[in-house]
């Protein structure tokens, strides 16, 4: 049997850091208000150079180095993002040009905060079908480009960054199981609006994030706790056998509610939201790379990825390292 195994991870965070105290000067909020409700203390904010493709390149290069392979060894480049630098060509094709790979497949996926799990699942299917041997999955998000800095309910939540993983065909278990779901009927719970093709071509309305916070909070807790149980149900792995849980980093209190519902120990949960905020699809690969590089995740351990976001789209994945 062929498995897909993660053989390298990488990440990139912009140099500029915006603290809660900085936000106090920009909008009607306080550090205490933000920390109490979200667990966020600061976030990284993209500068002019930190475009989605640039950040993707930085994270991808680190992942390739960790995997000890060359860009030309990659058979598929898949980028997940809700903030592409261009509508076309895809961010993946722009990244392919920068990495100077061969003419491998390259395309983007938009599943919002669940993008990395969607992307890994797609790569896994290509590998299992023997169409490819290696894939590069990169999540690159400039969420602050959507932020209305006068809306304290949303501007405090988001940050920028990119994370990447190299996946390779293996005879040893890697990606063991994944489950993906979506419910488009609830698309208006969280979304961004923009009039890209306005009647007056010289006036384009900027994209802004709109969110029904309370509804989203409740739906996320229910979906994120149930998807973990669902993804484990098709395996012989019990929740007590899981060594690490890496949830989407959207809200500290939400994560705490999810692990409470799962009866999962908090010391086995990877949390980076405090100094990164919500980076959409990049949050899980950023947390994954953090855990790998800090020797938290070790070979042979079982890791569960758990995400929920706009779409609404959610997913879970069980991986053996």
Catalytic residue chosen out of the listed positions 20, 104, 113, 251: 113
Q: For this structure, is 278 an active site residue? A: yes
Catalytic residue chosen out of the listed positions 104, 248, 251, 302: 248
Q: For this structure, is 248 an active site residue? A: yes
Q: For this structure, is 263 an active site residue? A: no
Tell me the three-class secondary structure of the chain, residue by residue.
CCEEEEEEEEEECCCCEEEHHHHHCCCCCCHHHHHHHHCCCEEECCCCCCCHHHHHHHHHHHHHHHHCCCHHHCCEEEEECCCCCCCCCCHHHHHHHHHCCCCCEEEEECCHHHHHHHHHHHHHHHHHCCCCCEEEEEEEEEHHHCCCCCCHHHHCCECEEEEEEEEEEECCCCEEEEEEEECHHHHHHEEEEEECCCCCCCCCEEEEEEECHHHHHHHHHHHHHHHHHHHHHCCCCCHHHCCEEEECCCCHHHHHHHHHHHCCCHHHECCCHHHHCECHHHHHHHHHHHHHHCCCCCCCCEEEEEEEECCCEEEEEEEEC
Catalytic residues: 113, 248, 278
């Amino acid at each position: 049997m062929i498995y897909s195994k993660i053989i390298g991870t990488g990440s990139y965070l912009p140099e500029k850091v915006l603290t809660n105290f900085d936000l106090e000067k920009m909008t009607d909020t306080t550090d205490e208000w933000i920390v109490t409700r979200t667990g966020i203390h600061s976030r990284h904010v993209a500068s002019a150079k930190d475009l989605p493709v640039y950040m993707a390149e930085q994270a991808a290069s680190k992942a390739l180095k960790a995997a000890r392979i060359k860009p030309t060894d990659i058979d598929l480049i898949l980028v997940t993002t809700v903030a592409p630098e261009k509508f076309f060509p895809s961010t993946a094709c722009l990244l392919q040009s920068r990495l100077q790979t061969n003419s491998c497949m390259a395309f983007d996926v938009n599943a919002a905060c669940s993008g990395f799990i969607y992307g890994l699942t797609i790569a896994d299917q290509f590998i299992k079908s023997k169409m490819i041997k290696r894939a590069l999955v990169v999540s690159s998000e400039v969420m602050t480009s959507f932020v209305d800095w006068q809306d304290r309910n949303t501007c405090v939540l988001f940050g920028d960054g990119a994370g990447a993983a190299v996946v390779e065909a293996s005879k040893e278990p890697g990606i063991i199981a994944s489950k993906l779901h979506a419910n488009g009927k609830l698309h208006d719970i969280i979304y961004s609006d923009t009039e890209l093709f306005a009647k007056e071509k010289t006036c384009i309305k900027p994209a802004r994030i709109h969110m029904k916070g309370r509804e989203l909070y409740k739906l996320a807790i229910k979906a994120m706790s149930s998807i973990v149980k669902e993804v484990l149900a098709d395996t012989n792995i019990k929740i007590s056998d899981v060594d690490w849980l890496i949830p989407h980093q959207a809200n500290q209190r939400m994560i705490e509610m999810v692990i409470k519902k799962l009866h999962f120990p908090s010391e086995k949960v990877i949390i980076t939201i405090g100094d990164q905020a919500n980076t959409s699809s990049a949050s899980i690969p950023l947390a994954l790379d953090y855990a790998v590089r800090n020797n938290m995740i070790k070979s042979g351990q079982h890791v569960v990825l758990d995400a929920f976001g706009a779409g609404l789209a959610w997913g879970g994945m069980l991986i053996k390292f």
